Amino acid sequence: MKKSILIALACCLGLGSFAHKATNKHAVQQLRSTKTYGYSNHSDLRTTGLGDTLVLSNVVTGDTPTLYLAGGLDSGYVSGTDVYEDMGFAERYDFNSADSSLKVLGVVALFGGKYKPTSTKTVTFYTWSVGPRDSTNMPYILSGLPNYALDSVNVSITHLGIGASDTVSDTFKSFMFTTPTNFLFGSFFVGYTINYSYGSLAGDTIGVYTTRDGHRASADYIPLGGGDTLVNDQNATLYGDGTGWHDNVWDNFFMDIDYYMFPIVKVGAPNSVKGITKNNFTFFGNYPNPSVNNTNIKFSLSMPADVIVTVTDQSGKVVKTIKENGLTTGMHLLNVVTSDLAAGNYVYIVRTSSGDGIASQLSVIK
């Protein structure tokens, strides 16, 4: 079992405490090889034109999508089919439930790897609730791993945006649930599961991209005082040995990463909410909407950041890009000229240099 292997490694390396884990995690990392595709971070593709939609992101603009091997050549991917027969991968998202509620419409993800042309394998995308805190390993308290399934959709691995060979460019794909979730009022996970036997993969080797190790956007651990430490369960892996979900930093290769899997969400009651918050960024929408000559995108920052707004048409073609560097803490109104745009619906994406992102729909009338 992978956990047993990691515990044995921890004992051999003297990883008996958080401090030791932090010091020695790179010793474990050296057991892996990395494979980085020459792929640019096309954040403008992580959108949907379905209603007033939003995309929450944990990935910092400009990071390099990476696939990590699970030990060596031909061992599979840490974030996909591998020799350990891992079955699932999940990324956590939080929002300010006092400000808003939301529905999850689907998942957008970037996969790598390849499949055989005759493959019949599938993956299932999910939204999960967050489980209760786990104090089993005191003084380290897990903040909550994936729990109950809230929605799902089954997809063939031939439709993941990868090819039958490594020469095919990998692309982001959106996977919409047949019916959106009910309104959510708290944290949730999105991700996928897959059933397989590693020994019989026969050419079906896939994995979801991650950020580079050490480039995770959120804290791994949060001190609680009194000697207790909260393990911030930002992403997790479902082991194939029946032991359930495991935190990636806590006991899965000490991986300090974020998955390239993002929820596609719709805010409830957008005219009355105070805003939807993700880390450093709070989004209030744009007005007027519909727009004739211009519209104002309203948002606030809890710390200084660079901001980029990308406007696309419904086919995904970028029609306008606005960059604002060095914006200060506080409220901002970003004016977007729309008089040069044809009448119709557009999607705009707001991204910050701290890794926060959101997307929504803009209508233009003449």
pLDDT tens, position by position, 335-354? 999 999 999 888 787 888 87
d(Cα 200, Cα 259) in Å, to the nearest integer? 26
Contact present, 264 and 174 (Cβ < 8 Å): yes
Average pLDDT over residues 75-98: 87
Residue 2 has a pLDDT of 43
More confidently predicted of 144 and 219? 144
Q: What angle (nearest 5°) sits at the alpha carbon of residue 311, between those of residues 308 and 312?
A: 135
Confidence of residue 193 (pLDDT cuts 50, 70, 90): very high
Ranked by mean pLDDT, which of 143-152, 183-192, 355-364 comes out on top? 143-152
d(Cα 250, Cα 360) in Å, to the nearest integer? 35
Question: Residue 9 pLDDT > 50, yes or no?
Answer: no
Confidence of residue 18 (pLDDT cuts 50, 70, 90): very low
pLDDT tens for 295-306 read 999 888 988 989
Question: Residue 50 pLDDT > 80, yes or no?
Answer: no
d(Cα 329, Cα 282) in Å, to the nearest integer? 11
d(Cα 15, Cα 25) in Å, to the nearest integer? 9
CATH topology of domain 279-364: Immunoglobulin-like (2.60.40)
Contact present, 362 and 347 (Cβ < 8 Å): yes
Residue 352: how many other CB atoms lie within 10 Å: 25
Confidence of residue 99 (pLDDT cuts 50, 70, 90): low
Question: Residue 154 pLDDT > 90, yes or no?
Answer: yes
Contact present, 43 and 61 (Cβ < 8 Å): yes
pLDDT tens for 228-264 read 999 999 999 999 999 999 999 988 888 899 999 888 7
d(Cα 47, Cα 6) in Å, to the nearest integer? 38
Average pLDDT over residues 158-179: 86
Ranked by mean pLDDT, which of 67-76, 249-258, 282-291, 351-360 comes out on top? 249-258
Which one-letter amino acid corresponds to residue 68? Answer: Y
From residue 176, give the alpha-carbon distance in Å to each of 108, 263, 284, 352.
8, 10, 24, 25
pTM passes above 0.95: no
Question: Residue 143 pLDDT > 80, yes or no?
Answer: yes
Considering the chain, what is the average pLDDT of its residues?
A: 78
Tokens representing residue 199 in the block: 């020994």
Beta-carbon-side half-sphere exposure of residue 364 (alpha carbons within 13 Å):
20
Residue 167 has a pLDDT of 82
Confidence of residue 74 (pLDDT cuts 50, 70, 90): low
From residue 165, give the alpha-carbon distance in Å to each of 161, 172, 236.
12, 17, 28
Average pLDDT over residues 78-102: 84
d(Cα 51, Cα 194) in Å, to the nearest integer? 30
Residue 47 has a pLDDT of 31
Q: Which of 92, 96, 111, 153 is nearest to 274 (CA)?
A: 96
The domain limits of the chain are 2-35+63-263, 279-364
Percent of the chain whose predicted confidence (pLDDT) is above 90:
34
pLDDT tens for 204-234 read 999 999 988 888 888 899 998 888 999 999 9
Strands (E), 194-315: 205-208, 221-225, 228-231, 235-238, 245-247, 261-267, 276-278, 281-287, 294-301, 305-312
Beta-carbon-side half-sphere exposure of residue 11 (alpha carbons within 13 Å):
5
More confidently predicted of 8 and 165? 165
Question: Residue 179 pLDDT > 60, yes or no?
Answer: yes
Question: Residue 72 pLDDT > 70, yes or no?
Answer: no
